[in-house]
Amino acid sequence: MDKSKYGFNKLVSSFKFAFQGIVHGYTAGQNIIIMTVLAFLAVTLGIIFKIQVYEMLIVLVLIGIILPLELINTAIEAVVDLHDGNSKSRYGKIAKDCAAGALTIASIVAFVIGIIIFLPHIIKLF
């Protein structure tokens, strides 16, 4: 076993790089900020409406899927831009569009699930 690949310092470095990636995601674009605000709103509404524990778990799992997908989308865009430079290759467009499409599908599903969870509570207000 190669000790240089393992150890506490390597672990700390890995987390440092991961957090740098998260910070970059938040500084590179507005979409993840919007999604984070919506996530905070969903959790807050869950607390206010006193949704069931399993419903809150679903909300948290969806947040745990959507935010990382946005970071992956940002990473794919960066890699394509690095490879393509300013040119717009067909394959670069496919990669970017597919990554954005995956995020869009997940967001739509999360939105529908959010409606299913929160709409009955909102209707009770009226």
> For the chain, which residues make up each domain, given as ranges?
18-124
Q: What is the pLDDT of residue 28?
A: 87
Give CA separation, 58 vs 74, 80, 90, 118, in Å.
25, 33, 37, 12
Q: Is the pLDDT of residue 46 over 70?
A: yes
pLDDT digits (tens, 9 = 90+) for 59-113: 999 999 999 999 999 999 999 988 877 667 889 999 999 999 999 999 999 999 9
Please say whether the dihedral angle defined by the alpha carbons of residues 44, 59, 103 and 76, taken in this order, is positive or negative: positive
> Does the domain made of 18-124 have the CATH classification 1.10.287.3610?
yes
Q: How confident is the model at residue 54 (pLDDT cuts 50, 70, 90)?
A: very high
For the CA atoms of 121, 123, 124, 125, the dihedral, rounded to the nearest 10 degrees, stands at 100
Side-chain-side CA neighbours of 47 within 13 Å: the count stands at 6
CA-CA distance, 55 to 116, in Å (whole number)? 10
